Amino acid sequence: MLLLEVISGERLAKPERGKMRVHKISNVNKALDFIASKGVKLVSIGAEEIVDGNVKMTLGMIWTIILRFAIQDISVEETSAKEGLLLWCQRKTAPYKNVNIQNFHISWKDGLGFCALIHRHRPELIDYGKLRKDDPLTNLNTAFDVAEKYLDIPKMLDAEDIVGTARPDEKAIMTYVSSFYHAFSGAQKAETAANRICKVLAVNQENEQL
C-alpha cells in the first residue's frame, strides 16, 4: 500500500493495523482494488495467495504495478507502451551503426544499446568510440555504473546474468530501459520549456528596444 502511494502520488484507503491473517488479506485487497481502479485487469492474482507468500503471484502483482506506473504511460506517436518504448529506443540509437534494437531481450546483450542511449543524451559520460562489440561485460557494466552514478538509475540488472543467458528476461530489460526513458524525456521536456521561455524573453526584449 505504501509503495502504491509513493509511485502514484495518491492516498489509499486506511490500512488495517492488526497482525492477524484477516487484516493482512484486507490490506492486500485494498492494494489490489487501487490497482484495479487504475484500469488494470488483475487476472488470477488473489490477496490470499500473496499473504501466504506465493512467489509467482507476488511477482505477477509487482510486474503489474511496474507495467501500469512505469511503462503504460509511455507513448510515441500514439503507439502502445511497449511498442512506444521500443520505437523511442530505435530512434535514439539509429545513428549508431553497431546497434540494432529490435526487441527487449537479445538486442541488448552486447551492452552497446544501453551505452548508445546514454551517449545520445549525455555524450560526455561515455567514450562510445572506445567500446567494442565483442566485450559485452565491459559495455554493460559501463552503462550500469554510469547510469547509477550520474542519472540516478539504480542497477536493476546484472551484467554476468545477461551475457550468460541465451535470452535475457524481457520484463527486466523493459523495466530498466523505461528508467532511461523517464530520465531523458523529463530532461528533454525541461529543455524544451527553457527554450520556449528564452524565445519569449527575446521577443519581449526586442519589443522593449523598439
174-206, pLDDT tens digit by residue?
Answer: 999 999 998 888 655 545 555 566 666 777 777
> Are 107 and 86 members of one domain?
yes
Q: Are residues 64 and 2 in the same domain?
A: yes
Task: Give the cell for residue 38.
Answer: 487504475
Residue 102's domain comprises: 81-199
Residue 146's domain is classified under what CATH number?
Answer: 1.10.418.10
Is 86 in the same domain as 185? Answer: yes
- 194 and 91 share one domain: yes
Q: How many CB atoms lie within 10 A of CB 210?
A: 5
Q: Is the pTM for the entire model greater than 0.85?
A: no
Select from 71, 92, 109 the last residue of a domain: 71
Q: How far is CA 22 from the centre of its chain?
A: 34
Last residue of a domain, one of 36, 71, 106: 71
Name the strand (E) or helix (H) holding 127: none
Q: Does one domain contain both 85 and 124?
A: yes
Question: Is the residue at 45 inside a domain?
Answer: yes
Q: What is the pLDDT of residues 55-108, one digit of tens each?
A: 988 988 888 888 888 777 776 666 678 888 999 999 999 999 899 999 999 999
Please check whether residues 41 and 136 belong to one and the same domain: no
Mark whether 86 and 128 lie in a shared domain: yes
CA nearest to 175, candidates 75, 83, 85: 85
Same domain (yes/no): 37, 128:
no
58 plus 89 within the same structural domain: no
**Same domain for 102 and 14:** no
Q: What is the pLDDT of residue 190?
A: 47
Tell me if 204 is assigned to some domain.
no
Q: How many domains does the chain have?
A: 2
Smallest CA-to-CA distance from 153 within 176, 126, 174 is with: 176
Closest CA to 12 of 136, 135, 53, 32: 32
- Do residues 108 and 114 make contact, with C-beta atoms less than 8 angstroms apart? yes
